Amino acid sequence: MMSWTEKYRPKTFNEMVGNKKAIKEIKKWIQAWKNGKPQHPLLLIGPPGTGKTTLAHIIGSHFSDKLELNASDKRSHDLLMNIIGEASTTKSLFNDNLKLIILDEVDGIHGNEDRGGVRAINKIIKESKHPIVLTANDPYSKKLQTIKPACKIITIRKAHPNSIVAFLKRICQKENIEADPKILRELAKRSHGDLRSAINDLEAMAKGEKKIGAELLEAGEKDVFPGLFDAIRAILKSKNIRHIKEAMQIDEDPQLLLEFTAENIPREYEKPHEIRKAYNHLSRADIFFGRATQTRDYIYWRYASEHIGVGVALSKDETYKKFTRYAGPGSFQFFGRTKTKRQIIDNLAEKISKKLHISKKVAITTFPYLKIILEDEKTAQEIRKYLELTNEEFKILKGKRKPSKIKKMEREDPPIKEKQTTLLQFK
């Protein structure tokens, strides 16, 4: 089945979102070729999901044919020369038989596999008699250094949230989905101008649905910690170091960021080894926090941050194409919900620690024994007086009285002697 990003990929310049000025330039460039005036190659530079590849294909539709290579192809020198070198130099007799050569994501060329790739591209640019369009994400990439001067550079900008909302709305209409405008706005905002990711999110959330309501979004998540959820989303959804680091530049306590990331790891990642790997990075991060506190040298925070961000991000095999509802740390909610009870327990531990000359920590370890000791009424009253316990504290320590049946069941679970039959398998 065709993904929505394919299904709704613009086929003409008019369908494109934003970038009116860039499109005007491009149209001029096409016209010049048609008029028999060869032009410098076009280099479209812009962030992911802004429509560079789509534009390249639309440009291609104005020529008689197109040849495309993208980052996933092996771009060794020879390969490039074979495919493009030949295609670009053998020019037919007629101007109207121009083939558009598309080189996608040229700043993605790297490593041994693509050895000589940049050199080859330069050669093609020099020798080609055909129009060429190149695309790239990173305007400052070293790989573009020698390519840029030979090209006409067109900057492609992120789409405005309103344009994204409009685009998503159109999709919903065509798919017969009734969508709460709030949710579309939220998706647009989250995408940070990346239309493709907005469409992916919408598809994950709405495919097969008749209606999508705002309750799908975590209530109020944006209001309490504005940048935090964006950072979490970048960490869990992206593998792009630059993107992650940018999203993490927020004014929040890094230990809070760790808690938020921890909370959402199992919400996003599904495979145990991914969860394990990600949590191992959090564990390492926590050790750096520990070192910072021990030595009061907060330089260690930056290593912790790298573990939380890049470490956790790289723990996934690949990005999950799904919509995940992120949540605030469950532990915090738990702290809030149990505040009164914890307060009582804390007071109780404090009292016992004073009376029995032990620390609160040790006091807590004696609770289970005290609980059993208190089952004897007479002893219970004596100890209650001795420890000067309030009604509430006494009740908490004593625990709920269990009917004798349950007690019996617990007795069936003696230590050491117990034999278990189930054998859990591990591979």
Partner 1 sequence: MEGPWVEKYRPRTLEDIVGQEHIISRLKRYVEQKSMPNLMFTGPAGVGKTTAALALAKEILGKNWKQNFLELNASDARGIDTVRTNIKNFCRLKPIGAPFRIIFLDEVDNMTRDAQHALRREMEMYTKTAAFILSCNYSSRIIEPLQSRCAIFRFLPLKGHQIKERLKYIAEEEKLDYEPTALDIIAYLSEGDLRKAINILQAAASLQEKITEDTIYEVVSRARPKDVRRMIKTALKGDFMDARNLLREIMILQGVSGEDMVDQIYQEVSRLAMEGSIEVETYIKFVDSIGEYDFRIREGANPRIQLEALLTTFLSK
Residues 188-247 that bind partner 1 (CB under 8 A): none
Q: Which residue has the tokens 């344009």?
A: 163
Name the one range near partner 1 by CB under 8 A: 11-19, 84-92, 152-160, 251-259.
251-259
Return the number of the residue (64 or 381) whose C-beta is nearest partner 1: 381
Cβ-count burial of 309 within 10 angstroms (0-12 exposed, 13-18 middle, 19+ buried)?
buried
The answer to whether the CB of 261 falls within 8 A of the CB of 308 is yes
Residues 6+ apart with CB under 8 A from 108: 71, 137
The residue count for binding partner 1 (CB under 8 A) is 79
Separation between Cα atoms, residue 29 and residue 34, nearest integer Å = 9
Residue 423 touches partner 1, criterion: CB under 8 A: yes
Separation between Cα atoms, residue 208 and residue 1, nearest integer Å = 13
Name the one range near partner 1 by CB under 8 A: 132-140, 173-181, 191-199, 412-420.
412-420
Residue from 359, 395, 401, 406 touching partner 1 (CB under 8 A): that is: 359
Report in angstroms how near the CB of residue 181 gets to partner 1 at its nearest. Answer: 32
Residue 413 touches partner 1, criterion: CB under 8 A: yes
Residue 70 touches partner 1, criterion: CB under 8 A: no
Residue from 32, 241, 299, 372 touching partner 1 (CB under 8 A): that is: 372
Report in angstroms how near the CB of residue 194 gets to partner 1 at its nearest. Answer: 29
Residue 297 touches partner 1, criterion: CB under 8 A: no
Separation between Cα atoms, residue 12 and residue 164, nearest integer Å = 17
Q: Please tell me what DSSP assigns to residue 244.
A: H
Q: Please tell me what DSSP assigns to residue 95.
A: G
Residue 81 touches partner 1, criterion: CB under 8 A: no
Report in angstroms how near the CB of residue 213 gets to partner 1 at its nearest. Answer: 25
In the window 149-188, what residues touch partner 1 (CB under 8 A)? Answer: none
Residue 375 touches partner 1, criterion: CB under 8 A: yes
Rounded to 5°, the CA angle 418-423-427 comes to: 145
Residue from 70, 76, 240, 366 touching partner 1 (CB under 8 A): that is: 366
Residue 312 touches partner 1, criterion: CB under 8 A: no
Q: Please tell me what DSSP assigns to residue 43.
A: E
Report in angstroms how near the CB of residue 397 gets to partner 1 at its nearest. Answer: 11
Cα separations (Å) of 350 from 339, 358, 388? 16, 9, 12
Residue 314 touches partner 1, criterion: CB under 8 A: no
Residue from 92, 95, 379, 390 touching partner 1 (CB under 8 A): that is: 379
Separation between Cα atoms, residue 71 and residue 60, nearest integer Å = 18
Residue 298 touches partner 1, criterion: CB under 8 A: no
Among candidate residues 116, 121, 105, the one with its CA nearest the CA of residue 72? 105
* Residue 67 phi, psi dihedral angles, 5° rounding: -125, 130
In the window 254-283, what residues touch partner 1 (CB under 8 A)? Answer: 255, 258-259, 262, 266-267, 272-273, 275-276, 279-280, 282-283
Helix, strand, coil percentages, rounded to 5, for the chain: 60, 5, 35
Return the number of the residue (248 or 352) whose C-beta is nearest partner 1: 352
CB atoms within 10 A of CB 275: 16
Residue 20 touches partner 1, criterion: CB under 8 A: no
Q: Which residue has the tokens 């975590």?
A: 218
Separation between Cα atoms, residue 259 and residue 330, nearest integer Å = 9
Name the one range near partner 1 by CB under 8 A: 104-112, 222-230, 236-244, 357-365.
357-365
Q: Strand 99-103 to strand 132-136: parallel, antiparallel, or no bridges (unpaired)?
A: parallel
Return the number of the residue (208 or 272) whose C-beta is nearest partner 1: 272
Report in angstroms how near the CB of residue 39 gets to partner 1 at its nearest. Answer: 56
- Show the tokens assigned to 393: 């504290």
Residue 347 touches partner 1, criterion: CB under 8 A: no
Return the number of the residue (126 or 417) whose C-beta is nearest partner 1: 417
Report in angstroms how near the CB of residue 15 gets to partner 1 at its nearest. Answer: 42
Residue from 78, 346, 395, 401 touching partner 1 (CB under 8 A): that is: 346
Rounded to 5°, the CA angle 196-202-205 comes to: 140
Residue from 97, 181, 298, 334 touching partner 1 (CB under 8 A): that is: 334
Residue 126 touches partner 1, criterion: CB under 8 A: no
Q: 65 forms bridges with which residues in the sheet?
A: 99
